[in-house]
C-alpha cells in the first residue's frame, strides 16, 4: 500500500516537473511561431507525451495495478491543465471531460504495456537460470528406478 501511495505521489511530481520542462522547451522554440501554433503543440504533442512518460514510469516501478495507479497519479495534473472553469455549457463540460479521459487512457495504456514488458523480462530472467528439460529426460530417470525395472 505504501508503495502504491509513493507511486501516486511520484507520478504527480513527475507530471508537474515534465510540464515545467516542456514549458521551457516550448519557450526556447517559440521564436517565429504564432500563439495558435504553440497552443497546438502543447495540446497535441507535449501533453500526450507527458501522460505517456508518467504511465511508463509508473508501469516500470509498479508491482500490481499500474493502470489505476497511473490514472490516480495523473488526476491532479489533468485537473490543473483543463481547469473546471471552462464554460458552463454541456458541450464545454463534454470537451473538458473528453480531454482528461484521453490523457488518462494514454497513461493507463502506457503503464500497462510497461508493466507487462517488465514482468515478462523478469520471468525470462528467472527461466534462464533454470535448466531446460523436456518430457523425455524427466520420464527416463523415473522409469529406470521403478520397481518393475529393478526386478
Domain ranges of the chain: 2-150
User: Is the pLDDT higher at 80 or at 141?
Assistant: 80
- pTM, to two decimals: 0.75
Q: How far is CA 111 from CA 12, 33, 70, 85, in A?
A: 14, 34, 7, 30
Residues 11/58, Cβ–Cβ less than 8 Å = yes
User: Is the pLDDT higher at 137 or at 36?
Assistant: 36
> What does the pLDDT look like over 70-119, one tens digit per residue?
999 999 998 887 665 555 677 777 878 888 899 999 999 999 999 988 77
Q: What is the pLDDT at residue 108?
A: 95
Over 90: is that where the pLDDT of 68 sits? yes
Over 70: is that where the pLDDT of 127 sits? no
Q: CA 93 to CA 83: how far, in whole Å?
A: 11
Amino acid at each position: 500500500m505504501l508503495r502504491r501511495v509513493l507511486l501516486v505521489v511520484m507520478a504527480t511530481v513527475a507530471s508537474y516537473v515534465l510540464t515545467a520542462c516542456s514549458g521551457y522547451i516550448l519557450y526556447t522554440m517559440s521564436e517565429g511561431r504564432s500563439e495558435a501554433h504553440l497552443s497546438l503543440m502543447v495540446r497535441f504533442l507535449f501533453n500526450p507525451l507527458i501522460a505517456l512518460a508518467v504511465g511508463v514510469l509508473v508501469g516500470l516501478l509498479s508491482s500490481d495495478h499500474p493502470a489505476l495507479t497511473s490514472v490516480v497519479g495523473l488526476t491532479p495534473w489533468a485537473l490543473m491543465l483543463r481547469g473546471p472553469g471552462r464554460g458552463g455549457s454541456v458541450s464545454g463540460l463534454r470537451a473538458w471531460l473528453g480531454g482528461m479521459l484521453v490523457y488518462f487512457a494514454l497513461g493507463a495504456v502506457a503503464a500497462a504495456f510497461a508493466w507487462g514488458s517488465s514482468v515478462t523480462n523478469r520471468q525470462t530472467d528467472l527461466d534462464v537460470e533454470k535448466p531446460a528439460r523436456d518430457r523425455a529426460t524427466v520420464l527416463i530417470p523415473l522409469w529406470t528406478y521403478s520397481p518393475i525395472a529393478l526386478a
